[in-house]
Structure formats: C-alpha cells, structure tokens
Structure 1
Amino acid sequence: MIEPAPDIATPPPVGRTSTLGVVPTASMITGAAIATVWFWIPLTLLIIGISSIPSVIGFVLAAVVFTYLMRGVERVERVRSEAVFGMGIGIPPRRLSPHSGFQRWAHQILLDLGSSRFWKATAHHYLRMTYDILATGLAAALLVFAFLAPAAAIAVGNSDADAGLSFLPTPVAFLLAAVAFAAAGLLLVYAPALDATIDRWLLTPSPTAHLQYQVSALADARQGAVTSAQTERHRIERDLHDGVQPRLVSLAMTIGLAQTKLDSDLPAAKALIAEAHDEAKSALVELRNVVRGIAPTILADRGLDAALSAVVQRASTSGVPTTLSVHLPRRLPDEVEACAYFVVAEALTNVTRHASAHQAAVTVRLDEAAQQLHVTVFDDGCGGAQITGDENATGLRGLDERVRAARGTFTVSSPVTGPTIITAVLPCGS
C-alpha cells in the first residue's frame, strides 16, 4: 500500500497579486526569450520517449530524464512566481514511496508520472511559455508599428507629390500611432496580470486533491496510532516478562529459602533476607523503568527540556557521551512532547546498545513559522540502522509508527559505515 506523505507543508492561501512594475514585465520578456530555445528541449525528450517505446530502454531513459526535468522546472516556476508576483501559492501534497533503495527511486518516478500535480506543472510550463512568446511578440510588433508609422507618415507628407508615393494622411497616421501606443501600454499592463492568472490556475493545489490528501493522511495517522499502540503493548509485556517478573520470582524464592532457615540457621536466613532486599530494590528499579517508558513523570511536571536532559544523562553514564541542544520558547502539546521524548529515548537506547558509538548529539528545535518541532539524534557509531517490517524489531519501526500517528515524518539516514542520523518532524500547531 502506498503511503501518502507531504513533500512540504501547504502555505496559506493565495494573497494579493502584484502584476504592475518593471519586474513582472521583465519576467515575461525574459521568459519569452528563454522559451524560444527551451520550448523544444522537453518536447523533444517527450517525443523521443514516445517513439522509443518498442526499445524499452530508450523510453525508460527519456521518461526518467523528462520526470527530473519537469520536477526541477516546477520548483523554478514556483520560485519565479513567488519572487515576481508574491502570491504565496500553496504547494500540492506529493505522494512519497514507502519503499527504500532502488525500489523507492523507481516507484517514486512512477508516482510522479501518475500524479496530477506533475502534469499540471508541465501544462503550466508550456502554456506560460507559449503565452509569453505570443504576448511579447505582439507587444514588440505594436511598439515597432508605433515608432515607424508616424515617421513614415511624416516622410510621405513632406515628399514631392509628383514622386508618386502615397501613404495614410498624417493625422490618421498619428492617430494609429496613438492607438498603437495605447494598445502596447495595455498589453504591458494586462499581460503580466494574465501571466499571474496562469500561475494561480495551474500551480495552486485543487481543493479536491487537498481533501484527498487529508483523508489519506488521517487514515495513515489512524493506522499508525493503532499499530503504535499494539507495538507499545508488546513492549510493555516484554519488559514485564523479561525484566520485572524474573526478579520477583527470584525474590519470592529467596524469601522462601530464608523462611526455611529461620529456625535452623539464623545467619544464613539473615543473608538470604539481605539478598531478597537487594532483589526487591532491583525489581523496583526495573518497575520504574517500565513506568518511565509508559508515562515519564518528569515530562509532565518539568517539560520536555528537563525530561530530555535526564535521558541524555543516562546515555552519558552508560558510556556514550551525549550532548543536548534544545530550543523551546514555550511548552508544546502533551502528545507532541511525549512523541519527541520517546523518539530521543528509544534512539539513544539503540545507540548505547548497538551502535558502538564514541559520542552522540541530540538537537530539538521549534520552528515557530512552520509550527513544527524538529528532533534529530546523531551518533558516530557503526551504521546499518533501518526500519524493517520484522515484528521483533520494534525499535525504529515503533518510532516510525508513533511519529506517523502524530501526523509527522520520521527518517533514518544510516549508511553501513555510519554515522546514523534519526530525524523526526512533528506538527505542533494549535
């Protein structure tokens, strides 16, 4: 099943358009000049790809190059539109492949080629190029006529009548020149406005597509929440079964042995009671760790900064020196803080157990503009960490499910030679 994921958050709705001035007109003229050459390059690739269908290899290469070309063109067009008109056009959501490696790359190309966003951007690019060429050409023709018609009329009006030359009367020529100037002025004013309309029409995400993405994102978040809860239950069961329960069983056996020796061997009974006392304290520590994994008290009482400081301190005492950088100007919603806490706690647990790292770093930063919390965990140990579908590998997979349940994004960059960088981006708007 393909998992939808945002390419980038959608900005606010389109604002006021600025189509007057030198910049919009210069942008249109520059676009027309570039289009006279560029117009044929993507079109040639498309034609080559279609004509190479029987050879397969040529078709695939042309399709890949055309896809990357149009994706780059879309980014350039959006930057140009924002810089020239300042409309703040929203970016449509982009479906991302859930696979990894070469399969992810190939699947992503197929997703892009099958998306309406890709073909709308392609249609926008060619429509705008065609319009810019026609509008600039018409404006140039009107301006040439405006300058040459009066001069020709004056020259003809002052010439010898016996020369046999005839032209429009001078008043009519001046009237046509004025009309030409007026037409050129209107074209230079209104042509950029239509240019901006084309941007708004084909670059703006459609409400239907946005709603479909929201439905898919909510369904994905719901699935992540259900799976995350199930994974968490399995983790708690494993911690209780493998940690607390054996200690309690050992405690009960030790107390039983002490009872049998109370009458016959008092010193041995005292030693067994002391051993039982130590086991009881160890069981309490195990139980606190389990409770801390369910709902850390320090997180609710003192906030994310203090809770992460405790996690980092435990990692440092475990043999991996860890630094913490936190930028949180305010408290965040409880579910966001809890998710960020568990991402850091589980990631550092993996570092201390499996990474053989010499140092680690945790960075937590709140982006107020985008209303997103960025959490990054870095270690310089051996790499190879990845999210797998193995039910027994609940670490990174559980974090991915927990972050998806919070409608965030979770990525792992871990080449075989290291280092490993785990990143989570959590929405935290009110």
Structure 2
Amino acid sequence: MVLGTVSVTDPPTEAAATPVRSAPPHRRPFGLVPTASMITGAAIATVWFWVPLTLFVVGISSIPSVIGFAFASVVFVYLVRGVDWLERLRSEAVFGMGIGVPPRRLSHYTGFQRWLHQLWLDVSSVRFWKALAHHYLRMVYDLLAVGITFALLAFAVLGPAAAMAIDQSDDDAGLSFLPVPVAWLLALVAVAAAAAILIVAPVLDAAIDRWLLPPSSTAALQHQVSALADAREGAVSSAQTERHRVERDLHDSVQPRLVSLAMTIGLAQTKLDTDLPAAKTLIAEAHEDAKSALVELRNVVRGIAPTILSDRGLDAALSSVVQRSQHMGVPTTLDVQLPRRLPDEVEACAYFVVAEALTNVVKHSGATQAIVTVRYDDASDQLSVSVFDNGAGGARITSDDEATGLRGLEDRVRAARGTFTVSSPLSGPTVVTAVLPCA
C-alpha cells in the first residue's frame, strides 16, 4: 500500500540478535554427544583449520591490490559470522548451556553504504574477534586432544605387536628393552589414558564456550545504555509527533466545527424576536453541528487514550478498529492470541500500531483485504503485531514533517524498546510488523 509519503526506516543503531539468557542448570559436559562432537570437530579441523587462515593471509598480502584485498576481506567477515552462528548452535545442541548472544551494532545508513558500514562495524567489534579466537582455540584444542588420543590407541595396538615380533626374532634390532609383558601393561595404560581424554576433554571444550561465546559485561552494559538512550529518543519524538497530531486534528476539524456552531447560535439569537421559524432552523443546525463536533472530539480523544482498551483489553479494542476498517470498505480479518492482559504500555502501543496501519490501508493502499495478526510468545515474553494488506506497495518512513504516520509508529515502538519494520515492495503487498517486549 502507499502510505502517503512515508517509508521504511533504518533499524536501530544497536540490536541484540537474541536476548541474553542465563545458563540453565542442566549442562552436559560429559557423555557420548560431547565426545562425538569433539572428535567430529577435530576431523573437520584437519581441513578447515587452513581455510580462514588462508583467507586472512591472502587479504593481508593483497593490500596493494585493492580488489583482491576487498574480496578476501568480505569473504573473511562473512565466514567468521557464519562460523560464530554455527558454533553457538553446536554449543547449545551439545552442552545445552543456553549462552546468550552478544548485541550486534547495526548500521543506520541505507543501501550500499549500509552494507559497507555494517562490514566495518562487524570487523571492529569485540564479538567478531572473540568468535574468531573461540573458533581457532577450540579447533587447536580438539586437534590436540583427539590427536593424543589416537596416538595412545595406536601405541596400544602396535606396541605389543612390535614387542612380540621382536621377541620372536633373532635380531632384536636393539629393542629388547621392551619386554612383551611391559608392552601389554603400557598398552593398557595407553587405552585407559585415551578413554580418560575422550571422557574428560569435552569439559574444557565447554569451558572455552563459556569463556569466549557469552557477551562481556561491558558490551552488555553498553548495549543497554544505548537501547535506553534510543528508547528515550523514541519517547520524546513520539510525544512530539502525538502533540502535533492532536494540534492538527483540533485545528482542522474540531475548531472549525465549534466556530461554525458559535456563529449559528449567534444568528439564531438575532432571529428569535423577529423570525422564530428561521431561529428554530438555525438552532437545529447548531444541534447537528454540536453532535458532529462531539464525534470529531471523540475521535481525537480515541487517538490519545481509547476507553475500550483500558476497560476491555486489547482484543476488544482491536475488534472495534477492525470493524471501523470494514465499514470504510476494506474487509479485514483479525487473529488475536493473548493468554492474559498485558502491561498497559504494551497494549496501547499495539493498539496504535494496528489503528494507524489500518487507517493508512483505507486511505492510501487501494487494498481489497487486510489481515491483523497479534501473537504473544511466552518463551521470549514478546508481543508480535502484524498488519498485512494486498494493496499497492511503496510504503516508506521519511523525515518529512508531513509524513508522520509510520514515523510516529516507529518512534512509539522504539519508546517501548521494541522493533518496527515495514516490508513494502512497489508491487505490494505491505506488511507492517512490531515486536514489543512485555517485561
């Protein structure tokens, strides 16, 4: 849909890919799965160890050749990001520690400049180099642990065999110092040591994960401070936008209606003594103007604090918004799944997202269908609000003072420490999504 002159904005400067979670009490540093993971990691490391290292060396050596350096750098950054993601999946699947994901700074630019800036933000972040250090440290450790294990097992198999062969040979080749009984004893010790390494070594693997994968306390505090600053900026901007909207609505609708009402009553007063029928007609017109002014004033107040929301909850409030949209010519489906009442701020923010989005659908999209979906995720304690329409696309959030619809919604969602996105290709459809934390 085309929402006036609005458009999609850039994401927040700071974002956390996943909420930082505390480690659950059940961990699995021992067992068949951690051991198998260590052996698999060592086997893959025999080849993979050289790939990122080669890219790094090629990139450094290609600095005089700008194209070669740029290509190697981009591949290296994406490689480390992918490795970081896989390592976290492996750690969660193998050890079940629920390690939190460090916050990742996001670029505020757009287009190609955004992509370049994001690469620089990734390379200059502590998270990037900690992920690289973790990956190589774990690879080296797994290679050493599994290598020593296989060396011990090889000795346990070959040592007694060699001792027996030498014992049966006339030429001992100078190896008579290893009698067969001693060889068997050493073989048993080697097998026991190999088994101990396979069982105990994954504990250090888990310790490496706990050391390098979690976000540092400094990074977490920096992200929280930045998120609070962004929320404050959103709250200030949202309040200013809301004030301008109320001023505009009062000036453009309610005030002219009240002026007309006052003029009509004044004319009626002048006609009371000389032309009673005309005075009655004017009083009837004034009565209609008063009712219209009440309706318009009620609409303004509804935009500030809808009574139905506080009295009956989000489901009932959204039902009234959807009915209004249907009466204005856009068939709208509402799908709400809420297990309980949510905090007032969250419900109000969700209500205004749906109300403003549907208003834009009716005014600008030319859509024949709209779908409102509201879901509460108990695991993340977040409310997801989505408004879909099949009309024309091209919705954008801009800094234009006249285009305050989606920008006001974005500010309101930012003030609630949520995320607001708009997907609106030129050919449509348009999906407006807000994710609001409920804690």
User: What TM-score does the superposition give when structure 1 sets the normalisation length?
Assistant: 0.95
Moved more, 365-374 or 350-359: 350-359
Cα distance, 1:11 vs. partner? 2.2
Structure 1 gaps, min length 5: none
Q: Name the aligned partner's letter for residue 202 of structure 2.
A: P
Q: 1:121, 1:203 within 8 Å by CA — same for their partners in 2? A: yes
Q: 1:143, 1:184 within 8 Å by CA — same for their partners in 2? A: yes
Whole-Å separation in 1 of the counterparts to 2:359 and 2:67: 47
Q: 1:15, 1:88 within 8 Å by CA — same for their partners in 2? A: no
Residue of 403, 414, 417 corresponding to 2:427? 417
The 3-state SS of whatever aligns with 1:277 is helix
The aligned counterpart of 2:229 is 219
1:11 correspondence with 2:21: yes
Whole-Å separation in 2 of the counterparts to 1:112 and 1:37: 26
The aligned counterpart of 2:243 is 233
The aligned counterpart of 1:260 is 270
Q: 2:166, 2:172 within 8 Å by CA — same for their partners in 1? A: no
Cα distance, 1:268 vs. partner? 2.5
The aligned counterpart of 1:170 is 180
Moved more, 25-34 or 54-63: 54-63
The aligned counterpart of 2:212 is 202
The aligned counterpart of 2:335 is 325
Q: 2:100, 2:215 within 8 Å by CA — same for their partners in 1? A: yes
Moved more, 174-183 or 70-79: 174-183
Q: Name the aligned partner's letter for residue 177 of structure 1.
A: A
Rate the CA distance shift 1:410–1:151 in 2: closer, same or farther, 3 A: same
Whole-Å separation in 1 of the counterparts to 2:340 and 2:217: 33
The aligned counterpart of 2:5 is none
1:64 correspondence with 2:74: yes
Count of residue pairs the alignment pairs up? 429
Q: 1:7, 1:96 within 8 Å by CA — same for their partners in 2? A: no
The 3-state SS of whatever aligns with 2:105 is coil
Q: Name the aligned partner's letter for residue 213 of structure 1.
A: H
The 3-state SS of whatever aligns with 1:5 is strand
Residue of 182, 193, 196 corresponding to 1:186? 196
Residue of 304, 323, 343 corresponding to 2:314? 304
Cα distance, 1:166 vs. partner? 2.6
Residue of 122, 130, 139 corresponding to 1:129? 139
The 3-state SS of whatever aligns with 1:375 is strand
Rate the CA distance shift 1:302–1:162 in 2: closer, same or farther, 3 A: closer
Q: 1:376, 1:422 within 8 Å by CA — same for their partners in 2? A: yes
Moved more, 121-130 or 385-394: 385-394
Q: Name the aligned partner's letter for residue 161 of structure 2.
A: A
Cα distance, 1:167 vs. partner? 4.4
The 3-state SS of whatever aligns with 2:16 is coil
1:245 correspondence with 2:255: yes
Residue of 354, 367, 388 corresponding to 1:378? 388
Rate the CA distance shift 1:30–1:350 in 2: closer, same or farther, 3 A: same
Post-superposition CA distance 1:109-156 (Å, at most 9, x none): 221111111111111111111222222111111110011112222333
Cα distance, 1:107 vs. partner? 2.1
Whole-Å separation in 2 of the counterparts to 1:221 and 1:314: 31
Q: 2:18, 2:100 within 8 Å by CA — same for their partners in 1? A: no
Structure 2 gaps, min length 5: 1-9
Cα distance, 1:343 vs. partner? 0.7
Post-superposition CA distance 1:323-349 (Å, at most 9, x none): 100000100011111111111111111
Q: 5 Å matches for 1:384-423?
A: 384-423=394-433
Q: Name the aligned partner's letter for residue 266 of structure 2.
A: G
Post-superposition CA distance 1:12-50 (Å, at most 9, x none): 235443122222121111111111222222222222222
- Say which structure, 1 or 2, has more relative contact order (CA 8 Å, 6+ apart): 2
Cα distance, 1:265 vs. partner? 2.9
The aligned counterpart of 1:367 is 377
Whole-Å separation in 2 of the counterparts to 1:386 and 1:9: 28
The aligned counterpart of 2:43 is 33
Q: 5 Å matches for 1:25-104?
A: 25-104=35-114
Q: Name the aligned partner's letter for residue 428 of structure 2.
A: G
Whole-Å separation in 2 of the counterparts to 1:226 and 1:306: 29
The 3-state SS of whatever aligns with 1:53 is coil
Q: Name the aligned partner's letter for residue 192 of structure 1.
A: P
Whole-Å separation in 1 of the counterparts to 2:181 and 2:44: 39
Post-superposition CA distance 1:43-73 (Å, at most 9, x none): 2222222223233333222222222221111
The 3-state SS of whatever aligns with 1:362 is strand
Rate the CA distance shift 1:346–1:167 in 2: closer, same or farther, 3 A: same
Q: Name the aligned partner's letter for residue 144 of structure 2.
A: L
1:340 correspondence with 2:360: no
Whole-Å separation in 2 of the counterparts to 1:168 and 1:307: 87
Q: Name the aligned partner's letter for residue 17 of structure 1.
A: R
The 3-state SS of whatever aligns with 1:326 is strand
Rate the CA distance shift 1:171–1:112 in 2: closer, same or farther, 3 A: same
Rate the CA distance shift 1:162–1:98 in 2: closer, same or farther, 3 A: closer
